[in-house]
Homo-oligomer: A and B are copies of this chain.
Amino acid sequence: MGGAVSPATTLRLKPLYAFRLFTDYRSPIKLLNPQKLHTTPIPRQRSFCSVVSAAISSGEALEKPKFDGVKNEQVKEFRKRLRVADIKGGVDEGLERLGETLVVRGWVRTVRAQSSVTFIDVNDGSCLSNMQCVMGSDAEGYDQVENGSISTGASVWIEGTVVSSQGSKQKIELKVQKLVVVGKSDPSFPIQKKRVSREFLRTKAHLRPRTNTFGAVSRVRNALAYATHKFFQENGFVWVSSPIITASDCEGAGEQFCVTTLIPNSNEGGESPVNAIPTTEAGSVDWSQDFFGKPAYLTVSGQLNGETYATALSDIYTFGPTFRAENSNTSRHLAEFWMIEPELAFADLDDDMACATAYLQYVVKYVLENCKEDMDFFNTWIEKGIINRLSDVAEKNFVQLTYTDAVELLLKAKKKFDFPVKWGCDLQSEHERYITEEAFGGCPVIIRDYPKDIKAFYMRQNDDGKTVAAMDMLVPRVGELIGGSQREERLEYLEERLDNMNLNKESFWWYLDLRRYGSVPHAGFGLGFERLVQFATGIDNIRDAIPFPRTPGSAEF
């Protein structure tokens, strides 16, 4: 087998490459006609991504294969795709590319035929903006316009020249030289031009990322996730994957999903005879025959596991899915959601609050800086003023006060609450909203030192004997976004607490070991990632903040 492709080196779209791309796009290389794909295979060295054809035609780096005795070729070079975001995201919104010939691949959002030209808006998901493509009747492929193949939802391959746009919406547009319909869109395509409700789109979760709203949510979600990793990595935290399946039923049975192979598992939900489930003589499920030899559940939190790594590596974070089998059909609850749980060794509650604050400010700032177009969209269409709200969070000093002071504040408030306030009760969202939105005028507030009776067993007891070193971060509009605590590092306190709460100490043997062998003060917090997405996008319903929401009665897709 003959000529090898360019060598497989690690890539990046270096400035020089970028330049070559455009010059090559202009050169008369033979372009693969994607329409033929339906009947002929894609030729080996003529990748659909014509970027590569370009590299080949430029005669660059053709090396002989190394192993002549055996038929083989080298793997071709990988290059970053030229995206609409790259074209329109330049210093001057693409004006610097005037006159360049380039290729856009994406999906048709709208087609508007006028007397002399047809406007085709193409989106490739890299940004909110479409590439407006202007096609005259002399362009190659115009018959596809005429025969109606180019409709909303169709995928297209368009080669054209960058020209300045007459319209006010964009600085540049593409004057089409050649258009190829890659895949037609059946007229039943459910997402047509007119706006459709987000409720409806939940039933089309496989297509909704092709809308402006869900495209923008996807990109902001991605940016928040990456910013999360960047923040912790830059600060020396190690990402730890806490287990998803767990046999230690630590926090609240009943809210956990059972994971089992005992129920006969016929394809497509057919018959599952109950009498085929192995039982003990007493008629109980015989867990010893289950996959793990005992009951196993989906995790509700990676914290306890995270602590084991924090007390070895000092600072760690988890970022993975967690689960609640709660029957809550609300706009704030999911059965499956992603959680971020950092854990800091040699740290107290102050360090914990400082870390949570710095983290939130970092990711908010990252999104404001890196998702400008999407944030403008949310600001206009989803929540007016969200950019100001987020800028405040990124810049304002966060305030902390104790639970006791917060209760005092609420008791003195001139506002009538539905739930009366009393020391020892959990704060309701009306209270939380009052504190952050009214008392502190839109400033994020951390409430700390909660009564121990309303908090989890692992939180460190304060000296007053009544409160624990817990904290909740409240933000305007969303309410509680982050919950954390310093962990009880004193073995005797922890054991006493487990006893008082009737928890089985033996099942916590490994957690208690952390207090037997070089215990250290440590603290951490948890943040529901989809709440953060809601907070950063203004999206009302949490089911729209995750690609495929799982809720009671709903696990479609």
Contact = CB atoms under 8 A, between A and B. Distances in A.
B80 A236 contact: yes
| Residue of A233, A517, A519 ringed by the most chain B CB atoms within 10 A | A517
Interface bin, chain A: 35 or more
A287 B272 contact: yes
B557 A42 contact: no
A214 B417 CA distance: 53
Interface in A56-75: 63, 65-67, 70-75
A78 B354 contact: yes
A240 B218 contact: yes
Contacts of A295: 265, 269, 272
Given A185-B518, A399-B73, A400-B73, A47 B243 contact: no
A205 B261 CA distance: 25
Contact of A397 (B74, B238, B268, B513): B74
B155 A66 contact: no
Interface string A543-557: 000111010111111
Contacts of A136: none
A315 B67 CA distance: 33
Interface stretch (A33-41, A140-148, A168-176): A33-41
Contact of A242 (B268, B507, B548): B548
Interface string A485-498: 01001100000000
A260 B37 CA distance: 44
Interface in A337-394: 338, 344-351, 353-355, 357-359, 361-362, 365, 394
Contacts of A153: 517-518
A405 B248 CA distance: 51
Given A105-B314, A241-B321, A274-B285, 15 more contacts: A9-B361, A42-B486, A67-B440, A72-B399, A78-B359, A81-B236, A105-B346, A155-B519, A185-B518, A243-B547, A249-B267, A258-B265, A274-B283, A292-B553, A308-B557
18 contacts: A5-B350, A10-B358, A11-B235, A48-B351, A49-B347, A52-B354, A70-B405, A71-B408, A74-B398, A75-B353, A83-B236, A182-B521, A209-B309, A243-B555, A249-B269, A257-B291, A273-B284, A274-B277
Q: Which 10 A-B pairs have the closest CB atoms?
A: A125-B313, A183-B519, A209-B312, A78-B358, A78-B354, A155-B518, A206-B308, A247-B555, A272-B285, A292-B555
